Amino acid sequence: MQETRQNKIARLLQKELSLIFQQQTRAMHGTMVSVTRTKVSPDLSICTAYLSIFPSEKGEEILANINANNKAIRYELGTRVRNQLRIIPELRFFIDDSLDYIERIDELLKK
């Protein structure tokens, strides 16, 4: 039962975080941030979000910027989901490099 609730909250947070990043990156032309996966801890206090950043060369710079603005992102998330969640989880962001990994494997297979 607990796992079902975790999955529902993870999907809700993924959707809302992706909308927040879509609004924020609209001003930066040529940059796209998408939330590929979210995980929520069993006590619903920590949300781990995996981000796919395009172009990948700017990945570390954008991730550092996102981590610097973590409190503002959490506040924005809280205003969006305050009716669904009592406690807004702490946010942790990581780069999801699975697309780069797949691209690298394709390059090796073509050789």
Tell me the pLDDT tens digit for each residue of 16-55: 999 999 998 887 788 889 999 999 999 999 999 999 988 8
Q: Residues 101-109: what's their mean pLDDT?
A: 84
Place of tokens 């981000």: 51
pTM of the model: 0.85
Q: What is the mean pLDDT of the chain?
A: 90
21 SS3 class: helix
Q: Kindly report the backbone phi and psi dihedral angles of residue 85, in degrees, each rounded to the nearest multiple of 5, phi listed first.
A: -120, 140
Summarised one tens digit per residue, pLDDT across range 37-47 is 999 999 999 99
Q: Residues 71-96: what's their mean pLDDT?
A: 94
